[in-house]
Amino acid sequence: MKARPMKTPVYLDYHATTPVDPRVIERMLPYFGERFGNPASRSHRFGWEAEKAVDLARRRVAALAGATPREIVFTSGATESNNLALKGVMEACRSRGNHLVTLATEHKAVLDPTRHLERQGFRVTVLAPEPDGLVSLDRLREALAPDTVLVSVMAANNEIGVLQPVAEIGALCRERGILFHSDAAQAFGKIPLDVERDSIDLLSITAHKLYGPKGIGALYVRRRNPRVPLAAQIDGGGHEAGMRSGTLNVPAIAGFGEACAIAAVEMAGEAARLAALRDHLRARLEADIEGVRVNGSLERRLPGNLNISFEGVEADALLMTLPDLALSTGSACSSATVEPSHVLRALGVGEERARGAVRFGLGRWTTAEEVDYAAGRIGAAARNLRALRPQ
């Protein structure tokens, strides 16, 4: 991928969203124009062309997940996929049990649906993570009960980038006959995932985190060994094998498939490049600024993620002085709140450190020049803010 010349503001918030890859845009464009058909129209060429595009995209998404095409249900994104997985399984399996286990550092798109389920009479156990952000497999094992139906643990955390041991979790659930769901919005297309190898029964994914368009995602639903029962949450036409009704967004689906095809080829090289850039950024910041604390495991982490707290500096104040950098203080989906990150608080991080946390998200077009520029600007801004603090 040809590097773009540096310009400001420098975008370092690839966990919030990614720019659509030009190759993805090129793939999408015909389905806004001359190939505008509805894939449900099976009596003429316009519908056939649309259906062909959807089928190809479904195969591409499935291939990146290690699934079969029939196991991919297109949705509007990971939030809808999470809701369909959690509510759909618990409602369909009510006769088997009413208990669900999840982790306190999950995205709100998992935690909020579990609260909804609690109001419906289901029992939910929310486990605290270890200080490095990883789930304790022993604690998870202890939380499982005879009436446990589902375990939901994300593959990669959206704030601290920690990679959970999904294969070990999947094996534990499979031993106990419990279904395993993973929110892979941040992980899919960035690290290898395989639903068979990892014993994952439901996987939530989205296109806009891997250089595809916004508003399209998918839920992998296992069809055999075991077949996952699922109660539809949107009715009206029986689309997507009755699991998610509504006219399919063909241009976005075509783009999603193209993004997955690109990731399948480029993921390994991109991950190595981003990990090197991330480590360089960390080294620059630690050399330039005292009191730098990395949040979350360094060993098990997304290649392009760095979550750092700057001692004695409020992240919001820091970012206000840096209009030339696009950074985040936490999840883009809940950044309107003034409360400290629920992820960092779940790790046992104190409020001051949590309020000083900045999330760096490096991506496909991040350059070494941009990383060096950002490190220099942040170092100067942090020192200035510390100098202004009352002694």
CATH number, residue 383? 3.90.1150.10
The answer to whether 257 and 34 have CB atoms below 8 angstroms apart is no
pLDDT of residue 112: 98
* Structure confidence by residue, pLDDT tens digits, 211-261: 999 999 999 999 999 999 999 999 998 899 889 999 999 999 999 999 999
CATH number at residue 103: 3.40.640.10
Structure tokens at 165: 């041991």
Total structural domains in the chain? Answer: 2
What are the residues facing 193 on neighbouring strands?
Answer: none
SS3 content of the chain, % helix, strand, coil (to 5): 40, 15, 45
148-152 vs 99-103, strand pairing mode: parallel
* Residues 212, 352 within the same domain: no
- The reply to whether 4 falls in a domain is no
pLDDT tier at 321 (50, 70, 90 boundaries)? very high
In a domain, 35, yes or no: yes
Last-in-domain residue among 229, 261, 293: 261
∠130-115-15 over CA atoms, to 5°? 55
Q: Is a pLDDT exceeding 80 seen at residue 339? A: no
Tell me which of 246, 261, 276 is where a domain ends.
261
pTM over 0.85: yes
Residue 260 bears catalytic tag: no
Q: What is the pLDDT of residues 258-294, one digit of tens each?
A: 999 999 999 999 999 999 999 999 999 999 999 999 9
Q: What's the average model confidence in pLDDT over 189-216?
A: 98
Q: What is the CA radius of gyration of the chain?
A: 21
- Residue 368 near residue 14, CB atoms below 8 Å: no
At residue 340, the pLDDT reads 82
Per the domain annotation, does 1 fall within a domain? Answer: no
Q: For residue 388, what pLDDT is reported?
A: 82
Q: Which of 93, 173, 260, 333 is catalytic?
A: 333
Average pLDDT of span 139-143 = 98
303 and 251 co-located in one domain: no
Q: In terms of domains, do 296 and 213 share one?
A: no
pLDDT at 242: 86
pLDDT at 338: 59
pLDDT tens-place string over residues 78-124: 999 999 999 999 999 999 999 999 999 999 999 999 999 999 999 99
Determine the Cα angle at 240 with ends 238 and 245, to 5°. 45
Domain of residue 216 covers 22-261
Could you tell me if residue 291 is inside a domain? Answer: yes
252 occurs within a structural domain: yes
The string of DSSP codes covering 253-315 is HHHHHHHHHHHHHHHHHHHHHHHHHHHHHHHHHHHH-SSEEE-S-SSSB-TTEEEEEETT--H
The last residue of one of the domains, among 244, 261, 278, is 261
Q: Is pLDDT at 325 greater than 80 in this prediction?
A: yes
DSSP run (H or E) holding 50: helix 45-65
Q: Are residues 76 and 211 in the same domain?
A: yes
Phi, psi of 191 (to 5 degrees): -130, 155
The pLDDT assigned to 183 comes to 98
Asked if residue 3 has pLDDT above 60, the reply is: no
pLDDT over threshold 90, residue 135: yes
Mean model confidence pLDDT for the chain:
95
Whether residues 120 and 255 fall in one domain: yes
Helix (H) or strand (E) holding 387: helix 368-388
Same domain, 271 and 133: no
Residues 79 and 51 placed together within one structural domain of the fold = yes
Q: Read off the pLDDT of residues 157-192 as tens digits, 9 standing for 90 and up.
A: 999 999 999 999 999 999 999 999 999 999 999 999
